[in-house]
Structure 1
C-alpha cells in the first residue's frame, strides 16, 4: 500500500494575523511566506492544498505566491486555481492551489461565480501516486452565508457525480476532498451536507474530528477539513499549532489500498 500525507492550509494571503492584506508590505509578505514554506517543509507532505493564495495581487506584493512557495519547499509539481480576477490599478488574482511530490495528471478549476472580489471555488486534480490515479479536490467556501455555502457544495457534488461516472474505472480511490469550508461539521450547513453526500458513496471519514482550526491563536471552531474515502485506510490526523495564518494547518496521513 502507498502512504499519503495530505496538508490543507488557508495561508491568508501571506498577511499573517493582520486583519487586512493591504496593510502588509511586499517585504513582510515575502518574509511571512518564507516562514510558511519552512513550516510546510517540516511536514514532509505528499500533497499540500492551499487556500487564499495570490498569483499577482496589489494587496499581496505583486508576485506569485505559489511559485515562491514551490521554490522554497522544492515541490516538483504545482497548479493554481484562480477564482478572483480583477484588473486595473488595484488588481487581484487569487484562489486555491496544490503543491505535490507526485505528477499532476490533470487539473480543472471551477469558480462558484464571477465576482471580482472574494469569489470562491474548487480545484480538481488527478495525481499519479506510485502508478495509482488519485483524484483530489481543494475547496474554499463562502465565509458568511450558509445559503451560499449550500449552493457551492451542491455545485461540487454535481461536478463529482458527473466526473465519477466518467472516470471512476480509472481511479484507484474515490475523490479525496479538503479545504476551508468555513463552517463546522456539527451544524446543519455545507460540511454536513457534503459528508452526507459522500456517505452515499461509501464509508467516508471526516478529519479532524475534535481539534479546532480557527482562529489560530486560540481556536474555537473547526473550519478546515479532509474527507477521506473508504479506500484510504490507517488514517490519522493532527492540527498543527502555528500562528503564521489565522487558520491552523491540518495534516492527515493514510494508506492507499
Structure 2
C-alpha cells in the first residue's frame, strides 16, 4: 500500500517579540529580525503545514504589518490562511489570532473566536488541505485561555461541538479524522482541557497525543508542557520533537507520520 509522509509544526510565536516580555515595547526592526529567524527555522524543519498562534495581521503593538505574509515571503510557502480572533480599529488598532502556512493547497477553511472580546480573545482555525489525488487532510489549530480552567473547558466544548458537527454527526465518511493542535495552556497530566480533549477524541478512534513527554514553556528554562498535537487513527510511524528554540516564550513542536493513501482519499 502506498504511503504519504507528512510533517506538521505547531508554534506560538508570541507576536514575534522573541523573549521580550511585552511586544508593545519591541521595535518593529527587532520584530522583523525575529520573524526572519522563525522563517529560517521553518525552512530548516521543512514541515508541510505550520500551525501558528499569537500572530498579528496589523497591530500597533506588533509593528503594524502582516506577520503571516512576512513569514510566507521569507519561507516561500505558497499557501497561508489567517484566523483573526481579536480585532480593534482606531489609534490602538490590533488584529491577531491563529494562522496556517502550508506547502499543500487549502481547499476550505473557517475561523471561530470563542467569545467577543476585542483584546485577549482566543479561538480556533480549521482548514482542509489537498493531499493530492482528491485526498483531504483536516487540521484544527487552537489557542486556549492561559489562566482560567473554567474558560478552557468552555472553549473545548465549542471545539468538540464543531468537530462533531463537521465529522462525527454529519454522516459523511471521512477517510481521516481531524488532526488537532495548538497552545492549550495546560499540561496533559492534569484534570484539565488537554486530558478532556484526548478522552473525547479517543471515543472516535485511537487518537494519540504528542509530545508524550518534555516541556515547551517557558522556552529559556522549560518546566511546563502546553503545546500539543492530537493525531487520529491512520497516522502511523509517528516521530515527534520539541525543538530547542529561543524565538518565542514557547518552544515549537513537530510531528511527522505516515498515511496510507486510502486514509486521505
Q: TM-score range by the shorter chain?
A: over 0.9
The CA deviation string for residues 200-233 of structure 1, in whole angstroms up to 9 with x for no partner, is 0000000001111000011001100000001111
**Partner residue of 1:102 out of 100, 104, 125:** 104
CA RMSD in angstroms, aligned pairs only: 0.9
Is 1:160 aligned with 2:160?
Answer: no
Contact 1:2 1:130 in 2 (8 A): no
Is 1:41 aligned with 2:43?
Answer: yes
**Partner residue of 1:16 out of 15, 18, 40:** 18
User: Who is 1:234 aligned against?
Assistant: 237
What CA distance in whole angstroms lies between the structure 1 residues aligned with 2:153 and 2:111?
A: 19
Once superposed, which parts of structure 1, at least 4 consecutive aligned residues long, lie more than 4 Å away? none
The CA deviation string for residues 54-83 of structure 1, in whole angstroms up to 9 with x for no partner, is 000000000000000001111111100000
TM-score of the two chains, using structure 1 as the length reference: 0.98
Is 1:66 aligned with 2:68?
Answer: yes
Contact 1:6 1:251 in 2 (8 A): yes
What CA distance in whole angstroms lies between the structure 1 residues aligned with 2:148 and 2:101?
A: 29
TM-score of the two chains, using structure 2 as the length reference: 0.95
User: Who is 1:218 aligned against?
Assistant: 221
Specify every segment of 5 or more residues in structure 2 that has no aligned partner in the other structure, as ranges.
261-265
> Post-superposition shift, 1:172?
2.9
Local SS of the residue matching 1:166 = coil
Local SS of the residue matching 1:84 = strand
> Aligned pair in 2 of structure 1 residues 177, 168: CA closer, same or farther (>3 Å)?
farther
User: Who is 1:194 aligned against?
Assistant: 197
Is 1:209 aligned with 2:212?
Answer: yes
User: Who is 1:137 aligned against?
Assistant: 140
> Aligned pair in 2 of structure 1 residues 234, 52: CA closer, same or farther (>3 Å)?
same
What CA distance in whole angstroms lies between the structure 2 residues aligned with 1:249 and 1:217?
A: 13
Contact 1:70 1:78 in 2 (8 A): yes
Instruction: Give the aligned length.
Output: 256
What CA distance in whole angstroms lies between the structure 1 residues aligned with 2:178 and 2:17?
A: 31
What CA distance in whole angstroms lies between the structure 2 residues aligned with 1:40 and 1:199?
A: 30
